[in-house]
Amino acid sequence: MHEMSLCEGIRTVIEDQARQHAVGKVKRVRLEIGRFSGVEKPALEFAFDVVMRGSVAEGAHLEMIDLPGRAMCYDCIKEVEIIERLDPCPDCGGGKLMPVGGDELRIKDLEVV
Q: Residue 89 — pLDDT band, cuts 50, 70, 90?
A: very high
Examine residue 54 and state whether it is found in any structural domain, yes or no: yes
Confidence at residue 1, expressed as pLDDT on a 0 to 100 scale = 54
Average pLDDT over residues 30-46: 96
Confidence at residue 39, expressed as pLDDT on a 0 to 100 scale = 96
Residues facing residue 65 across a β-bridge: 32
How far, in Å, CA of 14 to CA of 60, rounded? 11
Q: Residue 57 — pLDDT band, cuts 50, 70, 90?
A: very high
Confidence at residue 32, expressed as pLDDT on a 0 to 100 scale = 98
CATH of the domain at 22: 3.30.2320.50
How far, in Å, CA of 18 to CA of 54, rounded? 14
Examine residue 24 and state whether it is found in any structural domain, yes or no: yes
Examine residue 49 and state whether it is found in any structural domain, yes or no: yes
How far, in Å, CA of 35 to CA of 29, rounded? 19
Domain that holds residue 13: 2-68+102-112
* Count of structural domains, the chain: 1
**Average pLDDT score over the chain:** 96
- Residue 15, SS3 per DSSP: helix
Count H helices, E strands: the chain? 2, 6
Examine residue 83 and state whether it is found in any structural domain, yes or no: no
